[in-house]
A = this chain, B = another copy of it.
């Protein structure tokens, strides 16, 4: 069973907004055995939306749209869908009651434009958008199902989880073969070298099994995918073979982000961590506390962007900065040890580097980053060269910092 997503909005096509909805929807659909065949982003334009719907329904039977459901004039999706399904708008008392409840403390929102939000297409099945005013709408035409959702990510996500996914599952009469993805992560090997080493494995794979290489920031994610032909046990066997073949480079046998892998180990061991960040400027801290449950292992950070903070809060001697430079093994080691001591944690990570675009020199060009890890068994430090683009440098520095910590945690 296949579906497509159509995201609607001029903002997507002028680069004002990145479409994060589609990837999220794709993952959820796969979980209930629906393959996402194509994603299409179109303008807030009636003819364009209609063409995209026609094309999508020529390929698949389920189409999900996001966007264009606001109360303002630029949002036209509801009217386009009325024309497409040859229906008209009627007032929905349930939606009206919900909107009154939603805005009961904000009378300025209950105006005549908001009132258009409880007008819904007569032929549509209406599902509640618990956190917003635009209702979720489902249309049926023969075998075909169209789902229309708001584009605001958290409204779409709550609507999908609570309403749309159960609804779609109830509509699937034949049980679907599972879509299976298994991912592992490796580092320290070029993609091409790895592919040569895996040639025999790839040649032996059944035709329904796919292996994908996803390199990013020095880590390669290797993904095995099967779209219904393999059982879970067969998949597990192939995955185990792959895992053995890449054992020397393996950092994780799941697709979990590095900070999740680190967090799981620290939580299990009741150990804690802090960071002292210069060039990464809090990005590493944000990663470590991004996920629920992080207060069990993440204690805090000192972001010492300016040298005065390195001196006065982290106690790095001015003399040391003067002699070795702020991007140096000496300084980054002291930062790591100091924050570990001050915040009284088991581990710490410190970063100091030149994120650019300015600040580089011949001996220390933009992209030079020193990272130190202070642990109960001692302090380690390493120098990296991470490219020329500011965001790339800081993203990669976080990756290197977490990969290093993961190695230390697995060895200790």
- 27 A-B residue pairings within 8 Å (CB atoms): A12-B26, A13-B36, A14-B26, A14-B30, A15-B28, A16-B214, A16-B221, A16-B255, A18-B20, A19-B19, A38-B40, A39-B39, A55-B55, A71-B192, A72-B191, A281-B285, A281-B288, A282-B282, A282-B286, A282-B301, A290-B391, A291-B390, A292-B390, A299-B308, A302-B303, A302-B313, A312-B342
Whether B196 contacts A111 by the Cβ 8 Å rule is yes
A189 and chain B: residue at smallest CB distance: B108
Give every chain B residue within 8 A of A38 (Cβ-Cβ): 13, 40-43, 48, 52
Give every chain B residue within 8 A of A196 (Cβ-Cβ): 111-113
**A300 in the interface, Cβ–Cβ < 8 Å?**
yes
**A409 in the interface, Cβ–Cβ < 8 Å?**
no
Identify which of A111, A114, A281, A299 gathers the most chain B CB atoms within 10 Å of its CB. A281
A133 and chain B: residue at smallest CB distance: B192
Whether A72 contacts B190 by the Cβ 8 Å rule is no
A313 and chain B: residue at smallest CB distance: B342
A27 and chain B: residue at smallest CB distance: B15
**A389 in the interface, Cβ–Cβ < 8 Å?**
yes
Give every chain B residue within 8 A of A391 (Cβ-Cβ): 290
Q: How far is the CA of A157 from the CA of B313 in the complex (A)?
A: 38
Given contacts A14-B27, A27-B15, contact A195 B73 (CB under 8 A): yes
Give every chain B residue within 8 A of A108 (Cβ-Cβ): 189-190, 193
Complex partner residue of A36 from B14, B18, B112, B290, CB under 8 angstroms? B14
Q: How far is the CA of A73 from the CA of B200 in the complex (A)?
A: 12
Give every chain B residue within 8 A of A225 (Cβ-Cβ): 10, 14
Whether B14 contacts A71 by the Cβ 8 Å rule is no
Whether B10 contacts A26 by the Cβ 8 Å rule is no
Given contacts A19-B23, A202-B73, contact A281 B292 (CB under 8 A): no
Whether A195 contacts B19 by the Cβ 8 Å rule is no
Give every chain B residue within 8 A of A16 (Cβ-Cβ): 23, 27, 181, 183, 214, 221, 223, 255
**A100 in the interface, Cβ–Cβ < 8 Å?**
no
Whether B299 contacts A289 by the Cβ 8 Å rule is no
A26 and chain B: residue at smallest CB distance: B15
Least Cβ–Cβ distance between A187 and chain B, in angstroms:
14
A359 and chain B: residue at smallest CB distance: B295
Q: Which residues of chain A have a CB within 8 Å of any CB of chain B? A: 10-20, 22-28, 30, 35-44, 48, 52, 55, 70-75, 106, 108-109, 111-114, 131, 152, 154, 157, 179, 181, 183, 189-193, 195-196, 202, 210-216, 221, 223, 225, 255, 272, 275, 277, 281-286, 288-292, 294-295, 298-306, 308-309, 312-313, 342-344, 356-358, 387-392
Least Cβ–Cβ distance between A251 and chain B, in angstroms:
17
Least Cβ–Cβ distance between A155 and chain B, in angstroms:
10
Least Cβ–Cβ distance between A368 and chain B, in angstroms:
16
Give every chain B residue within 8 A of A42 (Cβ-Cβ): 38
Q: A16-B181, A109-B193 are in contact. List 13 more A-B contacts (CB 8 A).
A: A16-B214, A18-B18, A38-B52, A39-B40, A40-B41, A55-B55, A73-B195, A73-B202, A113-B195, A152-B216, A154-B389, A286-B286, A313-B343
Identify which of A35, A38, A106, A215 gathers the most chain B CB atoms within 10 Å of its CB. A38
Whether B15 contacts A72 by the Cβ 8 Å rule is no
A59 and chain B: residue at smallest CB distance: B51
Whether A283 contacts B286 by the Cβ 8 Å rule is yes
Give every chain B residue within 8 A of A214 (Cβ-Cβ): 11, 16-17
Q: How far is the CA of A147 from the CA of B131 in the complex (A)?
A: 42
